[in-house]
């Protein structure tokens, strides 16, 4: 089992370009697994982890409802935003500047073959990271992602998640609001969940901006511990 993960920080990058790149890495791993099985060999498969920040974009998962996007194409254009239907799970979500997006493209055969556990580990990585900033983040029953003040009238989501997996290879991932412009969330019903607010780390900490590199370091630390992995 190969528990090393190649880390790449893509900076600010177009959503569709990044999606295509994810697909390329994903397909390479799947093809390697198929070849290994066909030839009855056990060569190690690769793992990747991409950090990225996207220009304003709304994406709708396979099971999503387009009515959860509250604006038309002209209004999107006026907001310098674009829209894509994508092949991950989940409903609608937003990505934009000030948000840390992470795409682990892993062969789970290298770690554990359990998608439920995989999602819970991603949530735990976020929860542990936010705890370092003094925030008590938690899961909301039946709602993937990470929240604050669950079970109260002030419940608010700080991290959205949606993944795709095939042959135990993952893609897509999580989006953590760090210095996000929350006004863009008003143009949709986040994750198709009505009546729940969205927040960002800088707002919770009452800071103008939070050091995103510091957040990334903490995320990687907790990810490597949870997955018993090593980045290079």
Q: Which residues are annotated as a binding site for substrate?
A: 88-95, 160-162, 173-175
Q: Are 137 and 148 in contact (CB under 8 A)?
A: yes
Classify 153 as helix, strand or coil. coil
Q: Could you list the residues known to form a binding site, using ranges.
A: 88-95, 160-162, 173-175
Q: 10 to each of 52, 138, 149, 172, how far by Cα in Å?
A: 5, 28, 32, 14
List the one residue out of 94, 111, 86 whose CA is nearest residue 1: 111
Of the listed 25, 191, 219, 220, which one is catalytic?
191
Q: Which residues contact 107 (CB under 8 A, 6 or more apart)?
A: 2, 29, 33, 45, 46, 47, 168, 169
* Tokens 């900490």 sit on residue: 205
Q: Is 159 a catalytic residue?
A: no
Catalytic residues: 191
């Amino acid at each position: 089992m190969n528990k090393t993960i190649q880390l790449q920080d893509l900076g600010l990058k177009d959503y569709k370009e990044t999606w295509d790149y994810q697909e390329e890495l994903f397909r390479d791993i799947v093809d390697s697994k198929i070849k290994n099985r066909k030839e009855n060999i056990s060569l190690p498969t690769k793992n990747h982890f991409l950090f990225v920040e996207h220009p304003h974009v709304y994406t709708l998962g396979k099971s999503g409802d387009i009515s959860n996007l509250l604006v038309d194409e002209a209004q999107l254009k006026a907001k310098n935003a674009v829209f894509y239907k994508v092949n991950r799970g989940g409903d609608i979500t937003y990505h934009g500047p000030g948000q840390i997006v992470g795409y682990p493209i892993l062969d789970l055969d290298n770690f554990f073959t359990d998608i439920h556990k995989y999602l819970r580990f991603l949530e735990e990585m976020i929860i542990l990271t936010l705890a370092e900033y003094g925030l008590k983040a938690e899961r909301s029953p039946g709602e993937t992602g990470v929240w604050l003040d669950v079970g109260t009238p002030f419940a608010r989501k700080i991290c959205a998640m949606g993944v795709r997996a095939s042959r135990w290879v993952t893609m897509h991932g999580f989006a953590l609001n760090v210095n996000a412009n929350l006004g863009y969330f008003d143009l949709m019903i986040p994750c198709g969940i009505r009546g729940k607010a969205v927040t960002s780390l800088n707002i919770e900490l009452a800071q103008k901006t939070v050091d995103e590199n510091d957040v990334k370091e903490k995320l990687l630390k907790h990810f490597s511990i949870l997955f018993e992995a090593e980045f290079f």
